[in-house]
Structure 1
Amino acid sequence: MKTYRFLGAKARRRREEIGLTTRQVATMIGVTAGHVRNLETGNSDISPPTYKLLCGALHVEMDALREEIDDRLDDDGEAA
């Protein structure tokens, strides 16, 4: 499992916590709702600029979504 799957799952939980839809987040960060769903499910990698915008839309620090991920992954980004 790649890092972006963990990021996507955490992003989805946060989005749901604050009551936003995928469409609302998509509008906020300038992508389609389908792309947001793909990010959340790990079907798309996330670029650094999009990650920064996503964190802003979700009202989280950039490191907040990455917390605990590094401990779960090996050097190749695969689940340890």
Structure 2
Amino acid sequence: MSIMALTYKISSFVKNITSPVIVLIGNKETEFQNGSAAYEKSYDKNYLVAEIRAKDNKVCIVLKENDKTNDINWIGEEQASFF
């Protein structure tokens, strides 16, 4: 029996970027031909776009890990804490 690992994609709006894109996670940079190529990359963690800036005539998208992944219940509402 094999267990499938969850994979995530970054926000779909990046598909609209036609310029070269640099995705920055921590100090790791990955360069893509355009936003569509950046969107096709899968990640093992759920990342949010923290910042968008220009770098070397390219669009630089800074990602940060989404630490609120489990704060939404199965119907899409924020989790309530009773304690």
TM-score, length basis structure 2: 0.30
Which has the larger share of helix?
1
Structure having the higher Rg:
2
TM-score, length basis structure 1: 0.30
Which has the larger share of strand?
2
Higher relative contact order at CA 8 Å, sep ≥6: structure 1 or structure 2? 1
